[in-house]
Amino acid sequence: MLRIIVADTTTKARQGGALWALLQYVLGFRRLGHEVHLVDQLQVNEIGPDDLRGFDVVLNTSGSLAPDSIAPIPIRVYLDLDPAFNQLWHLEGIDRRFAGHTHFVTVGLGIGRDSCSIPTLGLPWIPTLPPVVLEQWPPADGVETTGACYGRSPRGRSRPGRVGGKRMGAHRSRRRRRHP
């Protein structure tokens, strides 16, 4: 059994869907018999190295925990649930706290492939599918889906020669009808 800490970046911003995606990691590891602790965004600034001693693994979502605070943990995984955003923000000079991690995991399955224009930043990204604990996703009215469409930033991300849009814009082709 491993002692795992999962750092959450979503609760302060009240991003329920993103939190639910992160909880799939927590629930999945617990089902595998591991002891898992979730540190929410409100606790992140209060966490120091002494608080994390004794843990075997940290899943540090988007670098929410500072590198010096996770240094005592032998396996330090940078969990990228916002592929392209973290890499492009880093190129814009925003510190995404990549330093100090032993592994880099992303749900961006193409990152690192020749066909993918998202920069690797020289990091050895491990592509992975996000976990889904199926019994937590009961069918609603006979429809089974885990698909979502949402926007996160006020503008798309871009870099020379490439422009990326918000996720929300990809599926919106008609005007919403207003109801009285």
Per-residue pLDDT of the chain (180 residues; tens, 9 = 90+): 999 999 887 655 566 667 788 899 999 999 999 999 988 766 766 777 788 889 999 999 999 888 988 999 999 999 999 899 999 999 999 999 999 999 999 999 999 999 999 999 999 999 999 999 888 877 777 666 555 544 444 445 555 555 455 443 333 333 333 444
Please state the domain extents for the chain: 3-141
Q: Which pTM does this prediction carry?
A: 0.76
Rounded distance between C-alpha atoms, residue 4 and residue 37, angstroms: 6
Q: Which residues contact 79 (CB under 8 A, 6 or more apart)?
A: 25, 59, 60, 61, 62, 105
Predicted confidence at residue 177, as pLDDT, reads: 39
Nearest to 54 by CA among 98, 103, 113, 4: 4
Q: Pick 3-141's CATH classification: 3.90.1570, 3.40.50, 2.20.28, 3.40.1350.
A: 3.40.50
Q: Which helix (H) or strand (E) holds 52?
A: helix 49-52
Instruction: Name the β-bridge partners of 75.
Output: 57
* Residue 162 vs residues 57, 111, 157, 165: alpha-carbon distances, Å: 36, 15, 9, 10
Rounded distance between C-alpha atoms, residue 117 and residue 128, angstroms: 18
Nearest to 72 by CA among 86, 93, 91, 51: 51
Predicted confidence at residue 43, as pLDDT, reads: 72
Predicted confidence at residue 163, as pLDDT, reads: 45
